[in-house]
Amino acid sequence: MTVLRLAAFSQNGLGGNPAGVAFYDSMPSAEEMMAIAKEVGYSETAFLVKQNDGWRVRYFAPELEVPFCGHATIALGAALGERFGEGTYKLILNNSEISVSAKKSGSGMSATLQSPETWSKDAPQEYVNRILAAFNLTKDQLDAHFPVRIAGAGATHLIIFVKDRQTLADMKYPFEEVRALMAEQNLVTISLLWQESDSVIHSRNPFAAGGVYEDPATGAAAAALAGYLRDINWQGAKTFTILQGEDMGVPSRLNVSFTSKTGERISVSGEVRHIE
């Protein structure tokens, strides 16, 4: 068994979020996949088995199985494109069916996923207060145009917008405390965000729940964010860019598109590069 090592949402052949992609004839046990994910050491590794007219996919972080991972889906989409040609592939996840399309690009391959359906809801204020305290944030540092909410698109995320870029750059948090807080609401990541313009948003994504301090590009969170923006009637562009990983020295670019229809799937796309 060979694990492909790919970086999704790269920019100009650099950066991006590393993911493992492993093809199997039959799905290994959860224990074996967890062990492989730990050995690979990336935030997620995707495991694929051909199933009828699609592919059965499971995603494992070093510490847990996640129901959906965007950057690993982009990576596996590129891998499918390289093996079987450009086109659209059906993916059968634990809780939903989605698709990913692959095409050749100037730097190799790019992929576009159609996310699971989206949803969002108000976050309990007492819970938000504890999260803000853990990140040493005050309510005055939050952007009042964006309420703190829990949002999902196959996985669950907490959405927090701050007023300025420096607050985002200064992000730090106590790992074990935040991991425990995330478990209370079954969060996969916390999305800390700053709006640069109506079409550009900067993001940082703590991933303590999965045993990783920070994710440099998070496609599932990008889809959840788009659903959230739709739900709050955001007046920005329905096709926008997320810049992530900059403060880690791993610049990543996620291209996101959504419609006005509540809950409808989100399109998230990006470039993919092989890791040497």
| 144-199 pLDDT tens trace | 999 999 999 999 999 999 999 999 999 999 999 999 999 999 999 999 999 999 99
d(CA 215, CA 212): 7
pLDDT value for 108: 80
pLDDT value for 129: 98
The pLDDT tens digits for 182-196 are 999 999 999 999 999
Return phi, psi of residue 100, to 5°. -140, 140
Residue with tokens 């590393």: 18
Q: Cα dihedral sign for 83, 88, 90, 93? A: positive
Averaged pLDDT for residues 9-33: 95
Q: In this structure, are residues 227 and 118 in contact, taking their beta carbons and an 8 Å threshold?
A: yes
**119-274 has the same fold as 4-114:** yes
| b/e sequence 179-192, b meaning 16+ C-beta within 10 Å | bebbeebebbbbbb
Q: Please compute Rg for the chain using Cα positions.
A: 17
d(CA 13, CA 106): 9
Map out the domains of the chain as residue ranges: 4-114, 119-274
d(CA 130, CA 148): 13
Which fold would CATH assign to domain 119-274? Diaminopimelate Epimerase; Chain A, domain 1 (3.10.310)
Structure-block tokens of residue 176: 């074990």
Residue 125 pLDDT > 90: yes
Confidence of residue 2 (pLDDT cuts 50, 70, 90): confident
pLDDT value for 130: 98
The pLDDT tens digits for 33-59 are 999 999 999 999 999 999 999 999 999
Confidence of residue 116 (pLDDT cuts 50, 70, 90): very high
Q: How far is CA 170 from CA 165, 246, 268, in A?
A: 9, 12, 27
Instruction: Tell which phi-psi region holds residue 33, choosing left (phi > 0), alpha (psi between -120 and 50) or beta.
Output: alpha
d(CA 230, CA 18): 29
Confidence of residue 230 (pLDDT cuts 50, 70, 90): very high
Average pLDDT for the chain: 96
d(CA 81, CA 227): 27
Averaged pLDDT for residues 26-32: 96
Structure-block tokens of residue 270: 């990006």
Percentage of the residues of the chain whose pLDDT score is greater than 70: 100
| Burial of 98 per CB tally in 10 Å (0-12, 13-18, 19+) | buried
d(CA 260, CA 155): 21
Percentage of the residues of the chain whose pLDDT score is greater than 90: 94
Residue 106 pLDDT > 80: no
Residue 262 pLDDT > 80: yes
pLDDT value for 144: 96
Q: Cα dihedral sign for 20, 220, 154, 129? A: positive
Residue with tokens 């409808």: 264
pLDDT value for 30: 96
Q: In this structure, are residues 200 and 115 in contact, taking their beta carbons and an 8 Å threshold?
A: no
Q: In this structure, are residues 113 and 268 in contact, taking their beta carbons and an 8 Å threshold?
A: yes
The pLDDT tens digits for 235-253 are 999 999 999 999 999 999 9
Query: Nearest to residue 239, comparing CAs of 216, 257, 226?
Result: 257
pLDDT value for 181: 98
Which fold would CATH assign to domain 4-114? Diaminopimelate Epimerase; Chain A, domain 1 (3.10.310)
Measure CA 96 to chain center. 16
**Choice between 12 and 81, residue whose per-residue pLDDT is larger:** 81
Residue 276 pLDDT > 90: no
